[in-house]
Chain A
Amino acid sequence: MTYQERLQHVSVLGAVGKMGSGILLLTAVEMADLSLKPENKGKSFVLNAIDVSDDALSGVIRYLKAQVLKVAEKKVVALRQVYAGRADLIENEEIIQQYIFDVISLVRTTTRIEAAYDSTMVFEAIREDPEMKTAIFARILANNSNDPWFFTNTSSIPIGKLDEGAGLGGRIIGFHFYNPPAVQKLVEIIKSAHTLPDVETFALQYAKNLRKVVVPSNDKAGFIGNGHFMRDILHAGSEVERLTAAYGFTGAIYAINRISQDYLVRPMGIFQLIDYVGVDVCSFIMSVMNPYHPGENIHSPLLDRYLSLGIRGGQYSDGSQKDGILKYEKGRPIAIYDPDQQAYIPLAEIQPAVEEKMGTLPVPPAWKAVVGSKTKEEILRTYFSQLSTASGEGVALARAYAKKSCEIGKFLVSSGVAFNDNDVNTVLLTGFFHAYGPINDYLG
């Protein structure tokens, strides 16, 4: 079966979620581009969008329409060639609208898993529940005579476990998009011990066609992205615990969030990132990873405490940030939740005392200015050189945080999760939009 034949009948499981809808969009566009090639005229292409709610599925079509419009507008130069033979399509607007129609018409929304029984490809983006995934894969395989392949978007569950649990015989690969899939360039590709070579070949071709940056990861729970992120959270949690006596709880949260954003030149602080992903999601990923790392305790009492109070974070369907550990106004943190008082404390009440305690730090370059700069390396070296020689509590916290991040990165390589330092750095640079990889010699 060729690449194109494999993509003629596809199902996306969990199609209305943030990850699933993005995968649906990228796959729909890729399938439409194949279907519009002259040699494929008359061939059918079907993309099932499968999820549990009809209401949400109608929303996903609206999402697709809006997103495909943007895709079409960007590539209208090429689309004019695609539709060159259509005398009725003259203006850009007519061509763009036709392309949207052609993409959307591939998609069938359904709440019935049976739709996947005819598919040759199944993309899975349902919740991180190994038992649920395994049961669904096994059910589809048992009822599908088309030798289906399974691409799972899991960010934490070992692929081998899913492969064995569902009896897939290597017809599976981890194809881990980053959020949101339509924007983020990175995918982690994870093979099980038995993943078929053809499945990997297809995965690499698919990623290339989607213009993604591929980083291979070994099949160790959490892989590289969450392998670093979850341990970063644990470090932040232990630092908050350590600092609470001196800074107060919300003061410690403020200090670590500020250190991990501004002083490490990252796009957002660690607690804002937890809110972005979801406090509950982070906690759940830890619970999935923990059994596979017996020497460690991948578990955060801090997250448990927030969850027990109903603080979950995450995002609204329009992509705006819900309140979580931090409270937001126009996407910017304005307060921190104090579990003791069960109320948000405005940053203005926390900030002055903590800043004074942290002392004077070297002025960090703004993340936005660094990531796009041609002299990024020089800027970072200058800044970290200042950080390494300065003194004060804040400076010490920043250095400790950066060193811990580096240690985590190196651990991912030494423990066999990542193949090399560069892969770790690529994931953090591309998937987390960091300005630099964690494995570096900036602090000597």
Chain B
Amino acid sequence: MIAGYNTLSMGTGRKEFSPKKDRPGLEEYIREAGQGTLKQIGGAGNVDECVIGNFMASRFNKQANLAAFFPYVDEGLRYKPAVRVEGACATGGLALMTGIKSILAETAEVVLVIGVEVQNTVKAIYCADYLAGAGWFKNRKNGHAYFFPGQFSDRAGAYFAKYGRDKTRQALARWFRNAIENARLCPTAQEYHNTVNDLDALGLTEPNGKTFIDNLNVFDCSKVSDGASAITIVSEEGLKRCGIPASEAIEVLGWGQMEEDITRPPVDPTALTTTAEAVRQALSSAGITREQIATAEIHDCFTIAGLMCMEAIGFAEKGKGAEFILDGHTARNGKIPINTTGGLIGWGHPTGGTGVHQAVTILEQLTGKAGDAQVPIPADRPYGLTVNMGGDDKSLVSIVYKKGS
């Protein structure tokens, strides 16, 4: 993969954001991200196919048929094959997998992939309705007003009951602090402008089930974001065509892509079992162990999801995720720096774009182009990992990367 590009993650937290002012629309985000990548690869003429990932533009923006926006990105993309894919918050990951499979199928040498979501068209309370589409609609009636926060609040409650509340809440607050501190190093991050001194205190805000949810506070939740990310997936032939050296590319070594039954409740509310299986497959197909990973971009749609993901990957033993976080292992100077530009909580979560954003961040980190957010990539641990989750541990894409050579 080459030529990553992220727009700003726009929403509350950014100084430029005002709900009352006009903002760029879906098409502007698509065009900015697409052009940002095309400029790096010698233009649209080098592209064989296009994939766009988007979750819910049909409701947020009353817009479908997004693949037809590629010619709007660049006239050179007219009459080229393109497809839109959707898998809730794993949409970006699925868009990448679609592109990867086109390369493997040898139908294309260069695939332009864009992930996009523009969600601030409605207030959070309606946003919750739209995002609930990532779950089974038949559960919506009995679900929480804030449907997905409610789902993960229930998971947090179960985790508290099984492993203890106080330490877990402290770990969730630390996760939040790490996310914001990392976001402050990335100019496109939604929390880039965050200047709060006592992030721990904010993270420890007591949840209020009367106005929100029982076991998580708003700081435990990812952002409502507008944003797009783009990247180009190439074969070795495609890499040559784009004129980019291998040292500026990352290589896809393996992946796990799978679905769990959306109509079933979690197998274990205290564990992300599908995530665990997807990561296991990714590592296995890449032929590496988790100990060889230098950095990971994981799907912290909620702090509790971040904690459980540490256990699902196997970085922490089951029930020891809180300790792992509190010991500093997930911080940027820790054993395994996680979400180095803030993740979904700090950088932002434009749902359909998140999976692509994760790949762009890994590309930047492994090729040494992450700027202030750069973390060391040890020679004996040269791998990057992404985990992109849709719904409540239902749609999973996990990919293992290595710097090109």
Contacts and interface: CB of A to CB of B under 8 A. Distances in A.
Interface in B124-168: 125-126, 128-129, 132, 137, 140-141, 144-146
A76 B125 CA distance: 8
Contacts of B123: 73
Interface string A75-116: 011111000000100111100100000000000000000000
Contacts of B132: 91
Of A79, A87, A90, A91, most B-chain CB atoms within 10 Å: A91
A96 B128 CA distance: 13
A91 B142 CA distance: 10
Contact of A77 (B126, B137, B210): B210
Contacts of B210: 77-78
Given A77-B210, A77-B211, A93 B141 contact: no
B141 A73 contact: no
Interface in B197-217: 209-212
Contacts of A87: 141
A77 B141 contact: no
A80 B129 contact: no
A92 B145 contact: yes
A76 B141 CA distance: 13
A93 B129 CA distance: 8
Nearest to B123: A73
B212 A77 contact: yes
Contacts of B209: 77
Contacts of A78: 210
Contacts of B141: 87, 90
A86 to B, nearest CB: 9
A91 B129 contact: yes
Contacts of A73: 123, 125
Given A77-B211, A80-B145, A93 B140 contact: no
Contact of B128 (A74, A79, A90, A92): A92
A92 B211 contact: no
A79 B137 CA distance: 19
A373 to B, nearest CB: 15
Contacts of B137: 90
A92 B149 CA distance: 14
A91 B146 CA distance: 10
B181 to A, nearest CB: 24
Of A77, A78, A93, A96, most B-chain CB atoms within 10 Å: A77
Interface string A316-328: 0000000000000
Nearest to A87: B141
Contacts of A93: 126, 129
A77 B145 contact: yes
Contacts, number: 31
Contacts of B212: 77
B129 A77 contact: no
Contacts of B125: 73, 76, 92, 96
A74 to B, nearest CB: 8
A87 B138 CA distance: 11
Of A74, A87, A91, A92, most B-chain CB atoms within 10 Å: A92
Contacts of B144: 77, 80
Nearest to B212: A77
Contact of B140 (A76, A77, A79, A90): A90
Nearest to B150: A77
A79 B128 CA distance: 15
Contacts of B145: 76-77, 79-80, 92
Nearest to A79: B145
A72 to B, nearest CB: 9
Contacts of A96: 125
Nearest to B130: A91
A19 to B, nearest CB: 27
B287 to A, nearest CB: 46
A96 B122 CA distance: 14
Nearest to A91: B129
Contacts of A90: 137, 140-141
A90 B126 CA distance: 12
A186 B312 CA distance: 52
A76 B150 CA distance: 13
Contact of B126 (A74, A79, A80, A92): A92
A158 B75 CA distance: 77
Nearest to B211: A77
A73 B125 CA distance: 7
A143 B211 CA distance: 45
B137 to A, nearest CB: 8
B184 to A, nearest CB: 24
Contacts of A74: 211
A87 B211 CA distance: 23
A77 B129 CA distance: 13
Contacts of B128: 92
Contacts of A80: 144-145
A27 B132 CA distance: 34
A90 B145 CA distance: 10
Interface in B227-262: none
Contacts of B126: 92-93
Interface string B307-341: 00000000000000000000000000000000000
Contacts of A91: 129, 132, 140
Interface string B375-390: 0000000000000000
Nearest to B147: A92
A90 B143 CA distance: 9
Contacts of A76: 125, 145
Given A77-B145, A91-B140, 6 more contacts: A74-B211, A77-B209, A77-B210, A77-B211, A78-B210, A92-B128
By Cβ-Cβ distance, the 4 closest A-B pairs, closest first, are: A91-B129, A76-B145, A77-B145, A90-B141
13 contacts: A74-B211, A76-B125, A76-B145, A77-B144, A77-B145, A77-B210, A80-B145, A90-B140, A91-B129, A92-B125, A92-B126, A92-B128, A96-B125
